[in-house]
Amino acid sequence: MSAKPHVQATDDAALIASARRVILTEAGALHALAPRVDAAFAAACRIILGARGRVVLSGMGKSGHIARKIAATLASTGTPAFFVHPGEASHGDLGMITASDVVLTLSYSGETEELLTIMPLLQRQGIPLLAMTGKPHSTLARQANVHMDVSVPSEACPLGLAPTASTTAALALGDALAIALLEARGFTAEDFAYSHPAGSLGRRLLLRIEDVMHRDAAVPAVRAEASLNEALTEMSRKGLGMTAVIDEQRRLLGVFTDGDLRRALDNRDVDLRSTPLAQLMTHSPRTIAPQRLAGEAAQLMETHKIQGLLVVDGERLVGAVTFLDLLRAKVV
């Protein structure tokens, strides 16, 4: 059993200085990396773009963790990808990789035994091999079809042992690869949403008004000749804080809201018992079509400081949606 490390007394200034040193060291590593993004990077992109299969990421230890993250980023931005542990690959998981795939390996030393064990088997299948290492003359770099140099001047770890700046550099180059491929494929925000349907962006870009709106008998609506009392009864019964005003063909004429009621009560010149609802309602209200995105409804409500929208198909009233509905659907 190893002895418990001795904890030295350290003041706040020393802790802050240590943190800043790490950040600056890693920033320096990225600054040094940028000029080395060259034709090899472009070649790697073209191999991936031309592949019929997926990108298979592999790496051991900390490089393996970075490889997993790069695989996740690629998969969510239009490039199908997954991670295979190199140790498990030698015990059956190699069967997950097909001849139509591309393999991207990560190893700072370029001499990771588990990766070198499977490289000849992948080469035998004619699978394109890409590598990220910090040693351009390493075995892994020499065996790869394309090698990308992610070497760093130094690690942020004062012992020079824990991968820090080197893993940051590899992660950044992986992100660069994913975004370059995204742009080359013309990947859109809506494409992104399809792989993130449970996220807020996915809901904003996939949910449509017709998916969240009130419809049929749940939509508050009265005729233009209705009394104020009838309008208030309809608003209270449907609980949306408004009622549509329609004609006999359900064409929208206007909307009467809680705000319209307050304005009418504040106007002493208005006789609420005799004034027709058509004179109290808001003409030409904000509306939205059922096929529009729910996220657009949220933007309209936020822009115009309103709590609800009537949904129309042409001129005909078909539904209603409120800010609370969008909250419940987790669009906002």
Give the DSSP per-residue string, 140-206.
Answer: HHHHSSEEEE---S--SSTTS-S-SHHHHHHHHHHHHHHHHHHHHHT--HHHHHHT-TTSHHHHHHH
Nearest of 111, 73, 80 to residue 97 by alpha carbon? 80
In-domain check, residue 5: no
Q: How many domains does the chain have?
A: 2
Same domain, 133 and 210: no
User: What's the CATH code of the domain at 269?
Assistant: 3.10.580.10
pLDDT at position 202 is 60
Indicate whether 112 and 175 sit together in one domain. yes
Calculate ∠ Cα 197-200-205, nearest 5°: 65
Cβ–Cβ under 8 Å, residues 155 and 162: yes
Q: Which of 153, 187, 221 is at the close of a domain? A: 187
Boundary of a domain, candidates 187, 215, 236: 187
Residues 290, 154 share a domain:
no
Q: What is the CATH number of the domain that holds 32?
A: 3.40.50.10490
Residues 235 and 317 occupy one common structural domain = yes
Q: Provide the residue-wise pLDDT of the chain in tens; the chain has 332 residues.
A: 555 666 665 789 999 999 999 999 999 999 999 999 999 999 999 999 999 999 999 999 999 999 999 999 999 888 999 999 999 988 888 889 999 999 999 999 999 999 999 999 999 999 999 999 999 999 999 999 999 999 999 999 888 778 999 999 999 999 999 999 999 988 776 666 555 555 555 666 678 899 999 999 999 999 988 888 899 999 999 999 999 999 999 999 999 998 888 888 888 777 777 788 888 899 989 999 999 988 889 889 999 999 999 999 999 999 999 999 998 888 77
Residues 217 and 122 in one domain: no
Nearest-angstrom CA–CA distance, 136 and 111: 11
Number of residues that make up the chain = 332
Residue numbers of the domain that contains 279: 206-328
| pTM exceeds 0.75, yes or no | no
Note the pLDDT of residue 265: 87
How far, in Å, CA of 156 to CA of 8, rounded? 20
